[in-house]
Amino acid sequence: MRAILALEDGTVFHGTSFTGDGEATGEVIFNTGMTGYQEILTDPSYHRQMVCMTYPHIGNYGINPEDIESDRIRVAAFIVKECCKEPSNWRATETLPNYLSRQGVMGIEGIDTRALTRHIRLNGAMRGVMTTTDDPATAVDKARAIPTMQGLNLAGDVSCRSPFFWTADGPVATDWDSLRWPTSGPKVAVYDFGVKYNILRELSCQGIQPLVVPADTPAARIRELGVDGVFLSNGPGDPEPVEQAIEAIRDLAQDTPIGGICLGHQLLALALGGRTYKLKFGHHGCNHPVQDSTTGVIEISSQNHGFCADVSMLEDITATHVNLNDQTLEGFRHRHKPLMAVQYHPEAAPGPNDAKPFFRRFAQMLTVQ
């Protein structure tokens, strides 16, 4: 079925829908990962974004029930050069087109993804409309009417509504009144701004007991839990309008060890007095070189962010990591307090495991103070 992708600047790409009729809207960005499409599709940080894969053949190893980073597909739509409809992998239980269609998410193929990627690199991430029905002019008008990502508080859209424990068997629901920590080990409240499962898996691997809490949980409630630390998850949208969380983090940062990843990194930066800004086309892929400025070691990292933090004006903060492609901030820590965060994804999923020791450092920070 013929479909178009119309961008806000009037550019229109013609392709074919591999998920039937439909329409989708969102910010169009590109991801340079060669594999890992299932983790990308289910990463809540992609909420309201249409992801274009630069690798030309996607879907070859199908879909399995394990490689998910949340309970459903989160991207607004999926853009590929060629979608493989007959996957070959012993773990596959479903095809990519089926997976998307079943969850009502549109996929388009047959467009020139290299041209689209170049266009976004040169002109920046853009709002877009994917449609099988509208004519190009109508679709472009619709794209212009979508709210821009800047100023959008989306964490509440994807956060859990009530707390849950992360266990070896996955999430186990609890409620504030009957909450009882199930095992020993450091107790950590994980703010859920759209948390990826692999962050929770990695925290558990460190012997930590993660309790996942809604994005709007006030600091007072966290204090009542008597936690050993707080973790700030990744998540979609602009960090600046997530004011309630910034307020809670500012309060907790006075006396509680805090670690953060991606949106969590940005929110911690804002809570400490830093600033955030939108990048032109963001970092989305599995091959971004990041240098640890304290050791000189370079990690190849998984990344997915459209905004960036600036803490250069803060005396008590040390920048610990820098992106070697564009010199943007990739991590920081407080000089005297147990507070540290990274912009990239040490939990990978998908991506290389170079940065996994971050979780060990966080676990150590809970005990050595």
Ligand X SMILES: NC(=O)CC[C@H](N)C(=O)O
Among 163, 236, 285, 338, binds ligand X (CB under 6 A): 236
304: annotated binding-site residue?
Answer: yes
Is 305 known to be catalytic? no
Alpha helices, DSSP H only, in 124-229? 136-145, 155-158, 197-205, 219-225
Tokens at residue 321, please? 């990591």
216: CB partners within 8 A, 6+ apart: 156, 159, 244, 245
Q: Could you confirm whether 262 is annotated as catalytic?
A: yes
User: Which residues, other chains included, contact 122 with Cβ-Cβ below 8 Å and sequence gap of 6+?
Assistant: none
Q: Is 237 annotated as a binding residue?
A: yes
Is residue 78 near ligand X by the rule CB under 6 A?
no
> Least separation, in Å, of the C-beta of 68 and ligand X?
16
Q: Which of residues 99-158 bind ligand X (CB under 6 A)?
A: none
Q: Residues 165, 231, 307, 362: which binds ligand X (CB under 6 A)? A: 307
DSSP, collapsed to helix, strand or coil, labels residue 15 as strand
> Can 202 be counted among the known catalytic residues?
no
Q: Could you tell me the smallest distance in angstroms from the CB atom of residue 45 to ligand X? A: 3
Nearer to ligand X, 78 or 281 (CB): 281
Would you count residue 237 as binding ligand X (CB under 6 A)? yes
Provide, rounded to whole angstroms, the least separation between the CB of residue 226 and ligand X: 28
d(C-alpha 207, C-alpha 130), whole Å: 44
Of 7-15, 64-72, 245-253, 298-306, the window that binds ligand X (rule: CB under 6 A) is 298-306
281 in a labelled binding site: no
Q: Report whether 150 belongs to an annotated binding site.
A: no
How many Cα atoms sit within 13 Å of 156 on the Cβ side?
Answer: 9
Name the H helices within 130-241: 136-145, 155-158, 197-205, 219-225
| Binders of ligand X in range 252-271 (CB under 6 A) | 262-263
Select which of 262, 288, 299, 308 is catalytic: 262
Angstrom distance (rounded) from CA 51 to CA 43: 11
266 annotated as ligand-binding: yes
Q: Does 305 bind ligand X (CB under 6 A)?
A: yes
Q: Does 234 bind ligand X (CB under 6 A)?
A: yes
| One character per residue 31-70, x = contact with ligand X (rule: CB under 6 A) | --------------x-------------------------
Residue 307 is assigned to a ligand binding site: yes
Applying CB under 6 A, which part among 96-104, 114-122, 228-236, 349-357 lies near ligand X? 228-236
- Rounded to whole angstroms, the Cα distance separating 169 from 101 reads 28
What residues form DSSP beta bridges with 342? 261, 331
CB closer to ligand X out of 229 and 235:
235
Q: Does 260 appear as a known binding residue?
A: no
CA torsion angle 6 8 11 12 (round to 10)? 10
235 is in an annotated binding site: yes
What is the rounded distance in angstroms from the CA atom of residue 4 to the CA atom of residue 194?
Answer: 30
Closest approach of Cβ 157 to ligand X, in Å? 12
Q: Which of 235, 274, 350, 351 binds ligand X (CB under 6 A)?
A: 235
Round to whole Å and give the CA distance between 46 and 23: 17
Q: What is the DSSP letter of 177?
A: T
Least spacing, CB of residue 28 vs ligand X, in Å: 14
Closest to 250 (Cα-Cα) out of 163, 309, 337:
337
Residues assigned a catalytic role: 262, 345, 347
Point out which residues bind ligand X (CB under 6 A).
Answer: 45, 234-237, 262-263, 304-307
